[in-house]
Chains A and B, each alone.
Chain A
Amino acid sequence: MSSQHSSGPTLPTATVARSGTHGRPYKRRFRNYLLNKSLQLRYIGVVTVISAVLLGTLGTMIWQQKNLASSQILASMDKLELGEVRAQIDDDLTRRDTNWILRLVGVAVGLVFVLFFWLLVMTHKVAGPLHKVSRYFDRMAQGRLGETYPLRRGDMLRDFYAKFKAMHDAVRIRHQEENQVIARFLTACEAAGVKRQGELGARLDELEKHCEERKQALS
């Protein structure tokens, strides 16, 4: 392929190096954290439910053991026939057990909240690159192959993004080189005095327009 042809006009080539070093200053915003609901909420839901089930099951076991100890103490009080003291102890034990349950519920709710937000951030680091690539895909669908920018710090799926970028840049450079060949042809026709009239003239005008549009799409 003669893409390195020295004659003819030079169209701008893809600035791959520049796009690889500078990123647009997109910042993470809280309202944008849920980018891919099905992906993010699925994982968050699974982890949260597992944690809640674990807390619930083991919390119930702990409560059962506490309740067992309390009931044993009360049963011994029954044997000793200590009416008033028993009632007081019963109240104390019930209060103690209830406090414990409330503490556990508080810890569980706190954990679920912390987990939710932590996992939201964690899954966002996957959903973010996917969202970014999806936007590039949309542009590609419209025939636009502009510059690509690197991922933000902390983003995951870097290998995937690197492959996407390599593909995008390769396609872009290929189209730019092809466009250069067409531009060279048009310049050569002009230099050779090929008149823009009749069917040939119409085709040359059409080709020139296509070349300009493609140039715009690749910039």
Chain B
Amino acid sequence: MSAPKNKGYRRSWKNLLLNKRYQLSFTLFMVGLGAVLMVLLGYCVVREAQEASAVRENLILPCPEVPEVVPLKGGRILLNAPGQPGTEIERADTSSDRSARDPAVVGEQVTGGPTLPLGDRSAAPALPDPTGSRRADDPQSAPDRPSQHIVVEVGSMKLHDDMSDQAEMVATLPPDLVDAIAERTLCHVEQMGQMAELEAGYQRILIVLITSGVLLLFGLLFYGIKMTHRVAGPLYKVTLYFDKMKRGVYSEVYNLRRGDQLVEFYDHFKSAHGGLVSMQREDIEHLRQILDLAEKEDLASRSPEIAAALQEMRTILARKEKSVE
């Protein structure tokens, strides 16, 4: 029996799950395994990334110390060099109303050096603002209040009032103060950059893991169903033929679709189908011969049993002939 070609059934999304039990058990095993591996190893990756970040954070060296300038009441300024007692500097201006005022702070940049903000920060250290921004919104730097500037120059510091130049004080400062302050500021900026980089790296790893995990699981789900469909498809096709054969219909058997699996199994089925068709044809041949001869010899008239049997044989013959059409 020559095998007819494919009948032209196409794969359709709605028919993807033909044998739910088989397909889902295999697909979900694959997806579950992928999920377990992703979660376990992803957790390890995140933990290691955290550890690497912690190591890097711990290894960030502290920024170099610089002398801090602390304004005091009465217009005096305390210059604290790291590891040395503070040097107190007396203001030259004796004006009582000014000496009572708190020093306002406005940074001023001199010869390309960093700004040095000073405020009423008796408790806080006078570290430079790492961002280098002028605090224009600071109420202490409002234009209606008299302000004092600390002008830092290499080797000296001048304290003067914006309103007049009467008050002026000069103190000797370390010659590398500006460089030290600049270095410290750059160090702080660098540290903040490193921390941001660490955080960004950690976030990147997390996003990559979650995204790839979700994509992988959906991919596996799709691929698993598609892969098992190539097995379930031929099985489904064979069961349709089973239904026909059960009803005694031995119609043509068409080939599998391209990409289907179980090709060998399907060949066995086609052989079985062919074998049954051969049995039918053999029976038809025998029945035809005996019925023709029985009619010729008028066997039905010999006994009612023979007549009844011949009638049944005619029915069987008709059914068999129809089954292999």
Contact = CB atoms under 8 A, between A and B. Distances in A.
Interface of chain B, main secondary structure = helix
A88 interface: no
B75 to A, nearest CB: 44
Interface size class of A (residues with CB under 8 A): 35 or more
B316 interface: yes
A170 to B, nearest CB: 4
A54 B38 contact: yes
A178 interface: yes
A39 B297 CA distance: 59
Given A137-B268, A166-B246, 6 more contacts: A46-B30, A50-B33, A54-B41, A68-B52, A141-B272, A194-B302
Q: Output the residue of A38, A55, A171 with the most chain B CB within 10 A.
A: A171
A59 interface: yes
Interface string A175-191: 10010011011011101
Interface string A135-152: 011101111000000000
B56 A72 contact: yes
A79 interface: yes
Interface string B23-47: 0011001100110011001101100
B316 to A, nearest CB: 5
29 contacts: A36-B262, A46-B227, A47-B29, A50-B33, A51-B37, A55-B41, A65-B52, A66-B52, A72-B56, A76-B61, A130-B262, A138-B271, A140-B272, A140-B276, A143-B275, A156-B25, A160-B19, A164-B239, A170-B245, A170-B246, A182-B313, A184-B305, A192-B305, A192-B306, A199-B293, A200-B297, A206-B286, A207-B286, A210-B282
B286 A210 contact: yes
A156 B21 contact: yes
Interface residues of B, number: 70
Contacts of B269: 137
Interface of A: 1-2, 5, 7-8, 36, 38-39, 42-43, 46-47, 50-51, 54-55, 58-59, 61-62, 65-66, 68-69, 72-73, 75-76, 79, 115, 122, 126, 130, 133-134, 136-138, 140-143, 156-157, 159-160, 163-164, 166-167, 170-171, 174-175, 178, 181-182, 184-185, 187-189, 191-194, 199-200, 203-204, 206-207, 210
